[in-house]
Structure formats: C-alpha cells, structure tokens
C-alpha cells in the first residue's frame, strides 16, 4: 500500500521526522503538504498502525491508487476506469469523491463528478449493471482526487475525520490553535528544551498548547478514543481488533505515566490567562484529556507572569482585526522584555497567526517555521533565552 500522509504545508519535514521516530525503517519522501512512503519502503501493517494511532502532526492518511497527467475530462475518465474499483466497491457499498488541490485544467467540482461517473461505470461492468450509491454523510469508501502541478492522484482516504481531532476539545474558547499546529510548536520547542518538562502557557486560552505538551511528554495516543468506523477498517476489517488493542495499550501507558507524574507532586503544566471564560474552557479540556491533576490554572496577566517553568509556550493575541494589531504589538513587546528580564533562562515557543509579528518580541528565533493557514501563514518560532541575552 503506497501511503500518503498529508499535513498542513510547512509541517512536512517535521512530519517525516515524527514518522521515522515511530517507524525507524521508513524513509518518507517530502512533497508539498504531504509525505509519501512507496515500495519497497511502504509501511507494514504494524507501521501503519503506529502512524495511524500516534502521529500528532498528520491531517489525513491516504492509500494512493493511481497518479497521472490529465489535461481533459476524457483522460481523467479513462485513467479513473483503470483502477480496479471492484476490489473496494460493490453495489451494496456507498462512496464519495472529494476533489481537492489546484488545477488549471479542471473545475474541481466537475472533475469530481467525472471521477464519480467513471467509478460507477467501472463497478457496473463487474456487477451486472448495478452501481454503488453516493453517500455524503457516512460512505463506506472515501475517494480523493488530488490535483497539483498538472497531475491528478486518486487515493482512498483512510480516515473519516481529520486526524487533528483528539477528543479533548469540549470547549474551543475564542481563538483556538489547531491541535496539529500546536503539536508542531510543542515538538519544535521540546527539541531545544534540554529535557525540561514543566511548561507554562501565559496566554493559555482553551489549553491546546498545554495539552499537546503534556501529550508529548506522557506519550498519549493521537486520539483519546479509538474510531472503529474509519474507512480503513471497512477496507481492511482484519486490522480493527489489533489496532484497537494497541490503542488500549497506549491509553493504559498514558494513564500510568499521568499517575507517575502526579506522584511527583509538581504540576507538569501550568497556565494563565486574563479571561475567566478561557480558563473555564481550558479546565474542561484538560479534564477531558485526563490531565486535571497535573495542571494548575490561574487568572493572571502574562505581562506580569511569575513562573519557575523553564519552558514557555505562547499563542498571544495577534489582533484578528486590523485595528487590534497595534495593541497586539504592544503586548508582544512588553511580553518579550518581561521574559528576557524576569523569566530567563528558558525556552520560549510562540505561535502567531499573522506574519511579521514575531519580531516584536525582540528576539531572533533559533527555530522558525511558517505553516500554511489559508492566505496568512502561522509563524511558529522557538527562542532560547539565556540570562542577560539582549533583545535586538
């Protein structure tokens, strides 16, 4: 099975590294917004299981069926019919086609309909004229038609939902960071944190960065619940039980690690925010993640923060509206000075959903990554702050 694991553009190298940590034998190749694992280094079922259950950076997992150049509808139709659809689909099964990416040759919706027609015609040929139904809500098979740089790729989407959903987000708060981007910042920050485990988020909002940090330290599986309804298990029913069993093992180990940390008597994660509603949201989410005993939250101004934590994670307000930007810049400048003079030495990981704002913290980042987020990328930066380090 040629596997394509997609992610937010910008996270490819980090995702490839995460996958090789989970499966050292694999050598993923990097593409725009994805990593690919081809023969002879396609994943075994055990490796697929580790990626599926443990990758915190992946957005979706696809099994590639065919990749080709197509300039017109006839070519697209013809290439689609060359896939052995009868191996996955029969008249009793339902399916959906999602057409994604960028194409100069096709209107994406039209191309999706063309692929749907070709699939129906090919299945009809094998099942005495009967065809499978399209189901938008809960199809058995999810087909993706992906367009990029004049090529089309047809694949099976192995998950029902985007993989960044973890099952702990009970309350999203006002401007939540997407879980897989928070996980990316957390990994980058951990890479420079010299083994320090206690982390504080002074703009904690609904707690995403704190939960992703604790999940990394404590080895949590990607999702708290196992989704046995994912299309992967309709395609390969024999994988369901071993995957569920491994998920149970990972959850057991995660709970054990939580108890071990609780016994140390020092909170692993602490957070503060000026908004009581945000703190309430964070409390609910931390409880859902099973982390309430390992976390301390309090109302507080980031600009007067006092903490002994050597790791700071922050997703400060970035001024969603233009008129708020000046205020956001002032917060960043004051926060940067405060960290430098009062809180160093420490490792500071910052996510800002607007380009060009990070510099207002007054430090040159040691690591920096721009992650695609529609028209405006999110900037992830990690800054090592040594005592006495001068702001630029």
Ligand X SMILES: C[S@@+](CC[C@H](N)C(=O)[O-])C[C@H]1O[C@@H](n2cnc3c(N)ncnc32)[C@H](O)[C@@H]1O
The interface with ligand X within residues 328-367 (CB under 6 A) comprises: 331
Q: Which residue lies nearer to ligand X by CB, 102 or 320? A: 320
Side-chain-facing half-sphere of 44: CA atoms under 13 Å = 6
Q: Which residue lies nearer to ligand X by CB, 129 or 276? A: 276
Q: How far is the CB of 375 from ligand X (least distance, A)?
A: 18
Q: Provide the angle, in degrees to the nearest 10, between the axes of the packed helices 208-218 and 179-192.
A: 60
Size of the site for ligand X (CB under 6 A): 22
What distance in Å separates the CA atoms of residue 72 and residue 358, rounded to the nearest whole number?
A: 45
Q: Which residue lies nearer to ligand X by CB, 208 or 270? A: 208
Contact (Cβ atoms closer than 8 angstroms) between residue 211 and residue 220: no
271 binds ligand X (CB under 6 A): no
Q: How far is the CB of 392 from ligand X (least distance, A)?
A: 22
The interface with ligand X within residues 220-239 (CB under 6 A) comprises: none
Question: CA nearest 1: which of 319, 239, 176?
Answer: 239
Containing 271, the helix (H) or strand (E) segment is strand 269-273
The interface with ligand X within residues 164-203 (CB under 6 A) comprises: 173-177, 202-203
Among 90, 253, 274, 325, binds ligand X (CB under 6 A): 274
What distance in Å separates the CA atoms of residue 317 and residue 325, rounded to the nearest whole number?
A: 9
Q: Which residue lies nearer to ligand X by CB, 47 or 212? A: 212
Which range touches ligand X (CB under 6 A), out of 48-56, 83-91, 152-160, 271-279? Answer: 271-279
Write the CB contacts of 366 (distance below 8 Å, at least 6 apart in sequence): 192, 382, 383, 384
**Residue linked to tokens 């280094």:** 41
Which range touches ligand X (CB under 6 A), out of 36-44, 67-75, 114-122, 311-319? Answer: 311-319
What distance in Å separates the CA atoms of residue 223 and residue 89, rounded to the nearest whole number?
A: 28
Q: Which residue lies nearer to ligand X by CB, 99 or 206? A: 206
Which range touches ligand X (CB under 6 A), out of 36-44, 290-298, 300-308, 366-374? Answer: 300-308
What distance in Å separates the CA atoms of residue 230 and residue 320, rounded to the nearest whole number?
A: 35
Q: How far is the CB of 317 from ligand X (least distance, A)?
A: 5
Which range touches ligand X (CB under 6 A), out of 134-142, 158-166, 190-198, 270-278? Answer: 270-278
Distances in whole angstroms, Cα of residue 215 to Cα of each of 73, 143, 317, 326? 46, 31, 24, 34
Residues of this chain that bind ligand X (CB under 6 A): 173-177, 202-203, 205-206, 208-209, 273-275, 278, 301-303, 315-317, 331
């Amino acid at each position: 099975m040629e596997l394509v694991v997609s992610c937010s553009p910008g996270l490819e190298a980090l995702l490839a590294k995460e996958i090789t940590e989970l499966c050292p034998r694999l050598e993923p190749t990097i593409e725009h917004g994805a990593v690919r694992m081809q023969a002879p280094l396609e994943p075994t079922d055990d490796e697929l299981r580790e990626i599926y259950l443990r990758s915190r950076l992946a957005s979706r997992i696809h099994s590639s069926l065919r990749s080709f150049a197509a300039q017109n509808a006839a070519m697209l139709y013809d290439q689609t019919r060359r896939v052995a659809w009868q191996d996955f689909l029969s008249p009793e099964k339902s399916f959906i086609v999602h057409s994604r990416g960028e194409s100069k040759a096709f209107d994406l919706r039209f191309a999706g309909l063309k692929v749907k027609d070709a699939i129906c015609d090919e299945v009809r040929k094998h099942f005495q004229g009967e065809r499978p139904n399209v189901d938008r809500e809960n199809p058995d098979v999810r087909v993706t038609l992906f367009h990029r740089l004049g090529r089309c790729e047809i694949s099976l989407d192995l998950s029902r939902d985007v993989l960044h959903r973890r099952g702990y987000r009970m309350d999203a708060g006002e401007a939540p960071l997407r879980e897989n981007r928070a996980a990316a910042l957390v990994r980058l920050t951990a890479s420079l944190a010299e083994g320090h485990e206690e982390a504080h988020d002074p703009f904690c909002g609904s707690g995403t960065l704190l939960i992703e940090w604790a999940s990394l330290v404590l080895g949590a599986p990607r999702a708290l619940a196992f989704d046995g309804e994912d299309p992967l298990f309709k395609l390969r029913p024999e994988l369901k039980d071993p995957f569920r069993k491994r998920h149970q093992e990972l959850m057991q180990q995660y709970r054990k690690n939580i108890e071990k940390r609780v016994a140390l008597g020092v909170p692993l994660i602490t957070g503060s925010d000026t908004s009581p509603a945000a703190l309430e949201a964070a409390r609910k989410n931390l409880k859902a993640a099973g982390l309430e005993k390992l976390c301390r939250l309090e109302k507080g101004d980031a600009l007067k923060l006092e903490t002994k934590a050597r790791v700071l994670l922050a997703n400060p307000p970035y001024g969603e509206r233009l008129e708020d930007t000046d205020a956001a810049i002032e917060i960043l400048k004051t926060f940067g000075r405060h960290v430098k003079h009062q809180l160093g030495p420490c490792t500071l990981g910052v996510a800002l959903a607007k380009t060009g704002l990070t510099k207002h913290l007054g430090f040159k980042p040691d690591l920096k990554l721009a992650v695609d987020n529609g028209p405006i990328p999110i900037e992830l930066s990690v800054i090592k702050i040594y005592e006495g380090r001068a702001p630029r």
